[in-house]
């Protein structure tokens, strides 16, 4: 199995239950819900994406011919010491991530997390599973560690609140407009206070100026 990787970098996890934790981010190229091209955005199942996941030209990106080669690259970016943590993201990481790669990363001491749209099956040996359901797409992964939703949006919290997750997060919709964003933030705060299964999720890495 070979792997197409957009970029790999060391940063702090910005969102969710593990916000603030140092992590290597392993961003796979490609997604099943959008081509990543602007001309296809309107007709895509997922049309509000702000991530560049096309190609293999990002920092430390490339085509890796084996799980071992890719795990070696990830390991080379970890500064040493305990708590090694890698977050597999995308695009949709589930299109490429397999049990062999998870095992290779774990053999180097990494705890392996994934951030997925939940529409493809994931390896069973992952250590941490984050799912972000998207509109107009069938959710296959209905259990995991945390579920994240943009709010307000088409996928309503009530429609997924019975699923088998340990944490439920709402992220305020970023419209690029300060006034609207403040309204979205207040809407999330209100929803969480009224529905305490759900917690507010902010993007800590942006607050501290990291990628």
Enumerate residues 6+ apart whose C-beta is below 8 A from 147.
130, 131, 132, 133, 160, 163, 165, 167, 168, 169
Q: Taking the alpha carbons of 144, 81, 105, 87 in that order, is the dihedral positive or negative? A: positive
Whether 51 is a known active-site residue: answer yes
Three-state SS string over 29-61 comes to CCCCCCCCCHHHCCCCCCCCCCCCCCCCCCCCC
134 touching ligand SF4, by CB under 6 A: yes
Whether 201 is a known active-site residue: answer no
Closest CA to 36 of 4, 3, 2: 4
155 touching ligand SF4, by CB under 6 A: no
Grouping H, G, I as helix, E, B as strand and the rest as coil, residue 159 is helix
Whether 151 is a known active-site residue: answer no
Q: Assess contact for 128 and 111: CB atoms under 8 A.
A: yes
| Shortest distance, position 137 Cβ to ligand SF4, whole Å | 8
Whether 50 is a known active-site residue: answer yes
**Identified catalytic residue from 11, 49, 69, 100:** 49
25 touching ligand SF4, by CB under 6 A: no
Q: What number of chain residues touch ligand SF4 (CB under 6 A)?
A: 12
157 touching ligand SF4, by CB under 6 A: no
Interface residue with ligand SF4 among 8, 14, 24, 92 (CB under 6 A) is: 92
Q: Which is nearer to ligand SF4, 53 or 128 (CB)?
A: 53
**The two three-digit tokens of residue 158, written as one number:** 């009530």
Whether 75 is a known active-site residue: answer no
Q: How many CB atoms lie within 10 A of CB 138?
A: 8
27 touching ligand SF4, by CB under 6 A: no
Give the binding site for ligand SF4 (CB under 6 A).
31, 33-34, 46, 49, 51, 53, 90-92, 117, 134
Residues known to be catalytic: 25, 31, 46, 49-51, 115, 205
């Amino acid at each position: 199995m070979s792997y197409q990787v957009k970029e790999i970098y060391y940063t702090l996890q910005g969102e969710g239950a593990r916000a603030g934790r140092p992590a290597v981010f392993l961003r796979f190229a490609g997604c099943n819900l959008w081509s990543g091209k602007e001309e296809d955005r309107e007709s895509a199942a997922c049309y509000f994406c702000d991530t560049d996941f096309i190609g293999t030209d990002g920092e430390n990106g490339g085509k890796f011919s084996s799980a071992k080669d890719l795990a070696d690259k990830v390991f080379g970016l970890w500064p040493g010491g305990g708590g090694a943590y890698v977050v597999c993201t995308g695009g949709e990481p589930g299109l490429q991530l397999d049990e062999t790669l998870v095992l290779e990363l774990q053999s180097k001491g990494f705890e392996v997390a994934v951030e997925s749209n939940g529409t493809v099956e994931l390896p069973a040996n992952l250590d941490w599973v984050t799912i972000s359901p998207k509109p107009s797409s069938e959710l296959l992964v209905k259990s995991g560690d945390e579920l994240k939703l943009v709010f307000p949006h088409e996928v309503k919290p009530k429609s997924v609140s019975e699923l088998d997750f340990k944490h439920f997060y709402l992220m305020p919709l970023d419209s690029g407009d300060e006034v609207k964003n403040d309204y979205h933030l207040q809407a999330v705060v209100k929803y969480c206070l009224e529905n305490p299964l759900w917690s507010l999720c902010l993007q800590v890495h942006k607050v501290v100026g990291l990628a």
